[in-house]
Amino acid sequence: MLSNRLGIVLMTAVAPAVWGSTYLVTTELLPPHRPLLAAVLRALPAGLLLTALTRRLPQGSWWWRSLVLGALNIGAFLALLFVAAYRLPGGIAATVGAVQPLVTAGLSAAFLGDRLTLRTVLSGIAGVAGVSLLVLRANARLDAIGVAAALGGAVVMATGLVLSKRWVSPAPVLATTGWQLTAGGLLLVPVALFAEGAPPSHLTAANLLGYGYLGLIGAALTYGLWFRGVRALPPTSVSFLALLSPVVATALGWLVLGQDLSSLQAVGALIVLGSLIAAQTQRPRAPVPTPTTPAPRLQPASAPVRENA
């Protein structure tokens, strides 16, 4: 059982680790100033591909549930993420977004009956501190709208995680992943057209390679692994894995782009990894049993029956 859980955790962790490469791919391969277009082309084609491969459409209430989950996990989250990225330095956006595990833990306690333990809270605080050491810069400036967008992104993603655990579809994971990516991508289309205008008329081979990577690897593969983990693991455990993204992004900036890596950043990365391990190794506690009315006792068959006079 333990090895099976470890395997699921490691496979789920692949998703945020791959998402950590998004910054590198965006800056090196994609056209500038088109973040929402990147979000649409990342989500919508991948969603349509998975839906076509699984040949499953939502049934009954899963039409509107897929729309809600797609809006939270994909559409609204990516839109708020890009607003925060445009209005804030990356360090502040990542640090504010790192509160997501704490928000998820609180929502899980409120709506799923999970226990909010001291270990989870301390791991969440350590995760925020580690990310801030990893990516925050002394000259970073605050922007109220950007901070609100980053916090809103953490809240909608946490809400999507908890609802994904509460609403378990009878369809395969890849099918529900396709529904959510399609719904989220469709919701992003009008937002992208309004904010950025029509897509560019000419795309280079590098642009196509970047969009292909984000769609096939960064969405179809990784979101399938992510939502598989959401089904199998507590939502708080899954949310802590998202802290891998800034760690991988920093490592790729150092390895590929030649960016400096200070000793303080290395300490931050170790703190983040420590908080991840602490969150994953915590044993889930059983929910408090609900008291039930005891069944009436049956008299033994051998007991004598008394008749009233």
Handedness of CA 174, 236, 102, 18 (dihedral sign): negative
pTM for this prediction: 0.86
Token readout for 25 is: 């791919």
Q: How far is CA 51 from CA 55, 127, 178, in A?
A: 6, 35, 5
Q: Is the pLDDT of residue 168 over 60?
A: yes
Q: How confident is the model at residue 14 (pLDDT cuts 50, 70, 90)?
A: very high
Q: Is the pLDDT of residue 181 over 90?
A: yes
How do residues 107-130 score in pLDDT, each as one tens digit?
999 999 999 999 999 999 999 999
Euclidean distance between CA atoms 85 and 94, whole angstroms: 9
Nearest to 173 by CA among 69, 86, 61, 92: 69
How do residues 215-272 score in pLDDT, each as one tens digit?
999 999 999 999 999 999 999 999 999 999 989 988 888 898 888 888 988 999 999 9
Q: How confident is the model at residue 26 (pLDDT cuts 50, 70, 90)?
A: confident
pLDDT for res 298: 43
Q: Is the pLDDT of residue 291 over 50?
A: no
C-alpha torsion 106→112→116→122, nearest 10: -50
